[in-house]
């Protein structure tokens, strides 16, 4: 019997779907496994954030802030396989076309990227790079905190969005296979996100001496979930109204956008 083979491992499914972090298990991606994997998304985000924190620290030690930010951003894209970035571009092509609902959904299904998708991608990457460079210049503890919070809470919102909003393509599309979360799943995901955020910020903030810095970390810990809920809900509700629900591309776009929002909050709170 092959011990590395399993057909029902939701945690492994979450890691294999959302990241390139190696998980030596063979997973059968059935709708049931995919649905059960969603509540583990914040855990995957925490792992991605932890790796990126190390990359950012090493890059900042060897390079000035701007090239260090580029290296960190490149590692970020590689770790996620560009999965959410693809959703960001497809969503931009569709939503910024101002076409009918049916035409926008058709645009999202097209594998080609249009002008608006390219423009949106370039602007997003430039924005993220500038935020990363600012935080790297402020110090390791701040970039570490921002990366951990951004990757955890953006993925938490995907679990929440899958519960709250319907799919735009009822009965079809990849997003349909992830739907079916219960209130208990969202509760577990929220508790995990809160605990992992507290753990990550505590480990990072351990290197801080001035008490005022600890207070800033506490403010950041409390405000990020609120910002993610507020901004994410506004965006998801507006998109759902236009499309009649959300799609897999939209979930990816929400993740990318919320990551940038959490980094921006870090720059406002920690930036010097």
Task: Tell me how far apart the alpha carbons of residues 198 and 222 are, in angstroms, rounded to a whole number.
Answer: 10
pLDDT at residue number 74: 96
Residue linked to tokens 């507290």? 198
Residue 227 lies in a domain: yes
pLDDT of 205 above 80: no
pLDDT at residue number 171: 58
* DSSP line for 21-66: -----B----HHHHHHHGGGHHHHHHHHHHHHHHHHHHHHHHS-HH
Residue 91 lies in a domain: yes
pLDDT at residue number 1: 38
| pLDDT single digits (tens) 59-80 | 999 999 999 999 999 999 999 9
pLDDT of 5 above 50: no
Closest CA to 125 of 51, 56, 47, 69: 69
Query: Which residue range(s) make up the domain with 25?
Result: 11-270
Higher-scoring residue by pLDDT: 28, 216 = 216
**Structural contact between residues 72 and 82, judged by C-beta atoms closer than 8 angstroms:** no
pLDDT of 170 above 80: no
| pLDDT single digits (tens) 26-59 | 777 777 888 888 999 999 999 999 999 999 999 9
Higher-scoring residue by pLDDT: 204, 159 = 159
Higher-scoring residue by pLDDT: 31, 254 = 254
Residues 6+ positions from 92 with CB-CB distance below 8 Å: 116, 117, 119, 120, 121, 253
pLDDT at residue number 26: 79
Residue 6 lies in a domain: no
pLDDT of 202 above 90: no
| pLDDT single digits (tens) 101-148 | 888 888 888 778 888 999 999 999 999 999 999 999 888 889 999 999
| pLDDT single digits (tens) 127-137 | 999 999 999 98
Residue 1 lies in a domain: no
pLDDT at residue number 3: 46
Residue 67, classified by CB atoms within 10 Å of its CB into exposed (0-12), middle (13-18) or buried (19+), is: middle
If one counts the domains in the chain, the total is 1
| pLDDT single digits (tens) 217-240 | 889 999 999 999 999 999 999 999
Q: What is the pTM of this model?
A: 0.91
Residue 4 lies in a domain: no
Give the rounded percent of residues in the chain with a pLDDT score beyond 90: 57
- In the predicted model, what is the mean pLDDT of residues 257-269? 96
3-state helix, strand, coil in the chain (%, to 5): 80, 0, 20
Residue 3 lies in a domain: no
Structure tokens at 84: 């959410």
């Amino acid at each position: 019997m092959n011990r590395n083979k399993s057909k029902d491992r939701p945690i492994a499914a979450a890691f294999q779907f959302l990241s390139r972090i190696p998980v030596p298990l063979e997973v059968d991606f059935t709708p049931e496994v995919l649905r059960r994997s969603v509540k583990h998304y914040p855990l995957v985000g925490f792992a991605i954030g932890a790796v990126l924190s190390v990359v950012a620290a090493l890059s900042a030690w060897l390079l000035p802030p701007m090239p260090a930010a580029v290296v960190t951003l490149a590692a970020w894209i590689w770790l996620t396989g560009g999965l959410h970035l693809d959703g960001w571009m497809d969503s931009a092509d569709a939503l910024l076309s101002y076409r009918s609902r049916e035409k926008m959904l058709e645009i999202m299904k097209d594998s080609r990227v249009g002008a608006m998708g390219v423009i949106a991608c370039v602007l997003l990457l430039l924005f993220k790079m500038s935020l990363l460079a600012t935080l790297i210049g402020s110090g390791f503890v701040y970039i570490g905190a921002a990366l951990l919070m951004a990757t955890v809470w953006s993925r938490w919102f995907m679990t929440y969005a899958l519960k709250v909003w319907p799919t735009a393509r009822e009965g079809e599309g990849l997003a349909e296979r992830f739907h079916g979360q219960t209130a208990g799943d969202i509760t577990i995901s929220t508790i995990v996100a809160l605990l992992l955020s507290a753990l990550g910020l505590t480990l990072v903030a351990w290197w801080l001496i001035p008490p005022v810095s600890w207070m800033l970390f506490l403010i950041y810990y409390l405000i990020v979930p609120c910002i993610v809920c507020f901004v994410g809900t506004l965006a998801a509700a507006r998109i759902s109204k236009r499309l009649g629900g959300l799609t897999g591309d939209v979930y990816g776009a929400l993740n990318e956008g919320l990551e940038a929002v959490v980094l921006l909050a870090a720059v406002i709170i920690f930036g010097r």
